[in-house]
A and B are shown apart, each in its own frame.
Chain A
Amino acid sequence: MTTGHTVKAFDDDISQLRALVSEMGGRAEAALSDAVQALVRRDLDTAARVVEEDRRIDALEAEIERQAIRLIALRAPMADDLREVLAAMKIAGVIERMGDYAKNIAKRIPVVAEIRGIEPMSILPAMARAVSEMVHQVLDAFAARDAEGAVRVCESDKSVDDFYNSLFRALLTHMMENPHTITGSTHLLFIAKNLERIGDHATNVAEMVYFAATGQTMAEREKGTGHQYMPDAE
């Protein structure tokens, strides 16, 4: 779609920045699915590893920031190049938050692992898959400067919100019927909330990708009724 820069090293710098964002995003995506797997399998080792791995994600954010500053200082990027470099820096900040949510899920696993028989928990893996898919797609959209792909990611946030709302209702019912599971159920609710927030962050990244690719902000899209249990969401 676009031709290379006359100064080839400029292209190398941008590719390197993109590769770092992809790596960081890939790690966050893996942390998320590992955390949910560990939750389902009550696997405390994996949970501990997810917590540990978060440092790598944080380190990558610092590296991306360093590279972006260097690129701005040395190459003076303009127009779509400038938007992309700034987007990379902002996206790294968002992915760092995603990593934190994955870590937070992993940290709850030791508590939740001791509790059995909370039926609504079975929805979590499917919700996590939907969120992972959003993260994956938005990173692909960033790599390809794909504005349409970014729009699709925003649209799929609705299904994550639907998962959250149905899980919220199910857990509420479950807690009323089984008051002794309130501790575990509350942790599960927080985990679901974390997944929902990751979905929102993926949406934010999609908006940044859209702006980087087109120079326009994404038109206010249909938000639907997705946030009925989240009065203060967004």
Chain B
Amino acid sequence: MFAAIGAALALSLMPLSPANADEVGTDQYDYVFAGNVQYNGEPLEGVTIEVSGNGYDAEVATDADGKWAIGVPEKESYTVTLVEDTLPEGVVVAKGGASQDREFGQTDRSSVNFFLGEGVRETTSFVNQLIDRIVNGLNFGLLLALAAIGLSLVFGTTGLSNFAHSELVSFGALMAFTFSVVLAVPLWLALPIAVILSAAFGWANDAVVWKPLRKRGVGLIPLMIVSIGLSLAVRYTYQFIYGGSTVQLPGSGQAQMQWGPVSLSWIDISSMGISVVVLLAVAFFLLRTRIGKATRAVSDNPSLAAASGINVDRVIRIVWVLGGGLAGLSGILWAYFRPGVSWDMGFQILLLIFAATTLGGLGTAFGALVGSLIVGMLVEVSTLWIPSDMKYIGALAIMIIVLLFRPQGILGRRERIG
């Protein structure tokens, strides 16, 4: 993608004197495109101009006066292109585009102007851009995974589709902001405090709202609706307390550095590092520890787990604490990724978190991880083809398509007829 910055300078129309201009085809054909390439009043030599159309292709290089002419067989419309790579460093086509469709007016000659300006051309190849996006997507996917695992485990163990999960994410970032900025606690202390508070908030969610409702026997769909109401109330309470604007955590917005084809800042690298370490810890917990296995057992098959003597209530409590803490950490990393802390930052990615869990299969932690990585990378990589303000569409569309063929998600469990 070509970026053009700076003032555009008009190309002055010089009287055409074919005698000294570099020309192609002007002797054979009657109709001629011609022009003069200049920048800052100086003529540019050796710039390639191409003409194509109606089955005819030709190219020419500008001479020492910056002049060029190309003859064409028919009085028709052709595409005239200035090959930007042949411009000197720091010069690009500023306005109007490097490729123009031109035709002839009353005369047999048509002059073609290119507006040049100062600019930096990114000549990165497609593959390099792809790699860069994949790595950034990985970063995003990893922080999504932290949030998604909690959501998936809550669903697996209690059946609740928790639309208020995004508020746990925001909570982590808001706490990090409160401690590190408002209370001026050093960052190395503020962030762990924020995560611990998030875990506590997760526990509180279950203790105050969800457990009593489960005991009351409220059905799953009403519970989902309760979570919607809760998310609305909590989110606007955040706005009530913190206001509507976006603020930054200390250390945000650091410079991007080039690591080969990829551009990352130290924050991006730390974020990915932290995510990977934490995810590995969670994986170890789920696979190797007794409680972790019990958690997976309850999440896979709640009735069987209860029947085999597992303390389901304890497992659920642990899931909420773990889920809350992970979501809070995810919020902090999201605050550095965006960058910015705001009242609705969690809500902005709620749908992506749900897409990730649904895509991976509701109820499995590993499904959440797989789904998050796919969603994260899709969102970033898709910007190579679709405009960045539509980048979420790709991830959402993939989720819908996968569910079309595999309604339970990638790693999810199938329901049987009774």
Q: Do A and B bind each other?
A: no
